[in-house]
Amino acid sequence: MVNTQLFHTAKGALLPAATAVNQHGAPAYALSPRHQLAQLAATGCLNQTFYAAAESQLDAVLALAQQVEPAFVAKTAIYARQAGHMKDMPVLLAAQLAVRDVGLLAQVFGRLVDNGKLLRGFVQVLRSGQLGRKSLGTRPKKLVQQWLLSATEQQLLNAAVGTTPSLADVVKMVHPKPTEAWRAAWFAWLIGRAYDEAELPPLTAAFERFKRELAAGAVTEAPGLPFQLLTALPLTTAHWAQIARDGSWQMVRQNLNTFARQGVFGVDGMADLVANKLRNAEAVRRARVLPFQLLSAYKAAGDDVPAKVREALQEALDVALANVPVFEGRVVVCPDVSGSMSSPVTGHRGSATSTVRCIDVAALVAAAIRAKNGDARVLPFENDVVNVKLNPRDSVLTQAQALAAIGGGGTNCSAPLALLNRDKAKVDVVVFVSDNESWVDARRGATQMLVEWELLKQRNPQAKLICLDLQPNTTTQAAERADVMNVGGFSDAVFTTMARFAAGQTGAEHWVGEIDKIQLDPQ
């Protein structure tokens, strides 16, 4: 007699069996190579995360970039840089194009390497030997030369901050041949060769004068240079106030505690000036700041940073979350608060490790969706759904902090859907924010999450499921299909993609299809 418990007739649609295992060894669905590459590019920072070592991320990216067509590699790099605001991954993919399709690299180089820090990173990656060579090659060398010969003085000075390699190393490596006298003098100044100071461009000449005046004990204004070039000098509080006054939005955000230590906020009017700069909506948008970076700045701000400045960071956070969609119908958002979400969102980077964890970002996204969709139901989960009461009158930041304070336990991605099924809930959009490393609900065949989703769909045939992954993992608990989208990242571009999917405006491949729509410049 056949064992009917093993071979009972399943209800509803026949679901696909899991095709892979996740980092816990539990059943999961493998994403396509294109989707895996996009996932790594949008979330990977080439640093150690809870599950993935930096080396394994690098190996995975290089292997995937070989599997997909070069044009998709280029489009993914453009998305990662321009929409995802990533830094390491666009440079790595640009270097991979230098090995695989240098003509295509020439088409997209300016869209990927758009500042001096990325230029130095591109050179470092190519010369590291990780891509099978230690030289730039003729065409990449010319692209680097072109950047150096077309950059403004301000761009060059910004690029001169940093090492491994330094900009001086790059100049010595590629030997640019300037036709302008000021640029020839500037390169000579940079690499320590003889130059005519009269030929130096204005900011660099002002820097040299400023150093001499400081050495002579004169009181003088600091030139408008990257402040890292000035910090080795004996600056006064007035100089630091000027740096804060003249600095870029991003620089000011990143150095609030430094300004507090240097007495800047004790200067009359400076607290108001800095607060107004931080809350400026157009400046926030122009800075391409990620919401979690504002959360990081808020969490890192010490007691000596005035309250009005910290409040301005909250206002800036609201601007950065402007693209959070308003979904039609009944919305459920499910932030993962399990133990694995305690990992820093940008990975472990030694002393530079972010204080913002994946759970903080998941909570922030959940609170923001709830703020835009007032009746949204929030179901944080770990081993099971965690009961938490949120005050809708609280700010997004306050609600996010309440959700992030839960933390711990295993990962059970099916738990919120199981609860909705027990409640026989009517829903239209369900958003998961997780690392997708479910293991508590492991089973043979289809994943338990997909089983629960199919049950929910029997009551809600038009419902859509969005799985937002914050980590560079390459499997999912819900296989991609017409009603399921798997998307990676934590930039405002992800919100736009989610809204388009929920409104039925994306194609068959959803997020990957959106990346594929990016236009490459004709040669």
What's the token pair of residue 435?
């690392």
Do residues 464 and 456 make contact, with C-beta atoms less than 8 angstroms apart?
no
* Beta bridge mates, 39: none
- Residue 197 DSSP symbol: G
DSSP letter string, 277-301: HHH-HHHHHHTT--HHHHHHHHHH-
Do residues 490 and 291 make contact, with C-beta atoms less than 8 angstroms apart?
yes
pLDDT score of 276 = 97
Sequence-ordered list of residues with C-beta below 8 angstroms from that of 224, at least 6 positions apart, any chain: 203, 246
Going residue by residue through the chain (523 aa), what tens digit of pLDDT does each one get?
555 554 444 454 579 999 999 988 999 999 999 999 999 999 887 766 665 677 888 889 999 999 999 999 999 999 999 988 888 999 999 999 999 999 999 999 999 999 999 999 999 999 999 998 889 999 999 999 999 999 999 999 999 999 989 999 999 999 999 999 999 999 999 999 999 999 999 999 999 999 999 888 887 888 888 888 988 889 999 999 999 999 999 999 999 999 999 999 999 999 999 999 999 999 998 888 878 888 889 989 999 999 999 999 999 988 888 878 899 999 999 999 999 898 887 766 565 566 788 899 899 999 999 988 988 999 999 999 999 888 888 888 888 889 989 888 999 999 999 999 999 999 999 999 999 899 999 998 999 999 999 999 999 999 999 999 988 888 999 999 999 999 998 887 888 899 999 999 987 788 999 899 999 976 5
**How many whole angstroms separate alpha carbon 412 and alpha carbon 379?**
12
Residue 488 phi, psi dihedral angles, 5° rounding: -115, 145
pLDDT score of 208 = 94
- Residue 222 DSSP symbol: P
Q: Does domain 325-516 have CATH number 3.40.50.150?
A: no
**How many whole angstroms separate alpha carbon 135 and alpha carbon 128?**
9
Of the candidates 377, 450, 462, 388, the residue with the CA atom closest to the CA atom of residue 420: 377
**Domain boundaries, given as residue ranges, for the chain:** 69-199, 226-319, 325-516
